[in-house]
Amino acid sequence: MKRFPFPVLSVAAFLLFAPLPALTAQTPASAPAQAASVEANRKALNAIFEAYWQERLKHDPEFASVLGDKRYNDQIGNYSVKAVNDGLAREENVLMQLMAIDPAGLTNEEKTGRDLLLRQFAEDEEAAEFKEWEMPLDQGGRHRHHLPATGGPVELCHGERLRRLDRAAARHSQGL
């Protein structure tokens, strides 16, 4: 299953030309409407950030456990090609939502958060071409998909997670 990257150039062009409407002259009568629009953009941006964060925790339960979120302690991450492609599709959906938000009037922190997330999505899409999920080791010789060290909130789920990993490994070896 091969994913075709969405046009990264369109993202770059959007980031380059998005500020242009803010440079046009504004009439004093449009100031209250613009303030409401900026506040709506700010709320929409924060809602996108929150939804993306919750999705990330849901689809990377080991990461959630490391952070102390116990909701996903009994789950393991899915590193299949389908899961990776689904993740890229989710990122593309969030990317389109982010691009629909006019950054004019946002605080510097909000603009930076938006730009960093857009950059991360573009990098993920470019990296998909190299199929990193098929590489069991990283450049340092470490396993890419490993359990976090035990201790703290992770210790509670370590046994259940190991049992699930054993079952997943058995299913995988049957498919070979």
Q: Residue 82 has what pLDDT?
A: 92
CB 73 within 8 A of CB 148: no
Q: How many helices (DSSP H) and strands (DSSP E) are in the chain?
A: 7, 0
User: Lowest-confidence range among 38-42, 119-123, 125-129, 150-154?
Assistant: 150-154
Tokens of 87: 């993740």
Q: How far apart are CA 87 and CA 106, in angstroms?
A: 28
- Residue 112 tokens read as 């930076």
Share of the chain above pLDDT 90, in %: 44
Domain boundaries, the chain: 37-132+147-175
Least-confidence region, from 19-23, 68-72, 80-84: 19-23
- pLDDT, tens digit, 9 for 90 and up, residues 7-16: 444 444 444 4
